[in-house]
Amino acid sequence: MAELYTYSEEETIDYARRLAEGLCAGSFISLSGDLGAGKTAFTKGIALGLGISETIVSPTFTILRMYETGRLPLYHFDVYRIGMDDLAETDFYEFAFGNGVCVCEWAELIESELPEVRVDVKIERAGDDARRIIVENIGA
């Protein structure tokens, strides 16, 4: 488990970028934290670390966006609007257990459906621009 504080969006992106350099095909990252915590910012860093050139756009309304210009494909979910109820109607299971890197915002809403082996990232506000980030390898 790692606990750290960041003091700007750029610092969060940079931390996630470095974390992503160690990810491999099939990695799953669950992102938990309130609205505005920095889950999408964290995903931007993961994309950079994978060498993705596209701009990351929050999948709040689309549920899933994918990016295929990096060293591994990135599947970016935001399950806030569907929660458990309609998960089976999405491509979640296909990509959560697929061959790319899957990042899921609001993963705490679907905890029972998450892969057993994953990286849990919890982001909490610790002031205006300060964030407490807790990273835990689960099931590895």
Q: Footprint of ligand ADP on this chain (CB under 6 A)?
A: 6-9, 11-12, 33, 35-41, 58, 105, 129, 131
118 binds, among ligand ADP, Mg ion, none (CB under 5 to 8 A by kind): none
* Nearer to Mg ion (CB atom), residue 61 or residue 112: 61
Question: Could you tell me which residues come within 8 angstroms of residue 57 by beta carbon, excluding any fewer than 6 positions away?
Answer: 65
36 binds, among Mg ion, ligand ADP, none (CB under 5 to 8 A by kind): ligand ADP
How far apart CA 67 and CA 65 sit, in angstroms, is 7
Site size toward Mg ion (CB under 5 A) is 4
Q: Which residue is nearest to ligand ADP (CB)?
A: 38
Min CB(22)–Mg ion separation in Å: 23
Angle at 116 between CA 26 and CA 74, to 5 degrees: 25
**E-assigned strands of 7-117?**
28-32, 64-67, 74-78, 101-105
* Nearer to ligand ADP (CB atom), residue 25 or residue 57: 57
* Nearer to ligand ADP (CB atom), residue 4 or residue 25: 4
72 touches 138 (CB < 8 A): no
Of residues 21 through 50, those in contact with Mg ion by CB under 5 A are 39-40
Question: Could you tell me which residues come within 8 angstroms of residue 134 by beta carbon, excluding any fewer than 6 positions away?
Answer: 1, 2, 3, 120, 121, 122, 124
Give contact residues for Mg ion (rule: CB under 5 A). Answer: 39-40, 58, 105
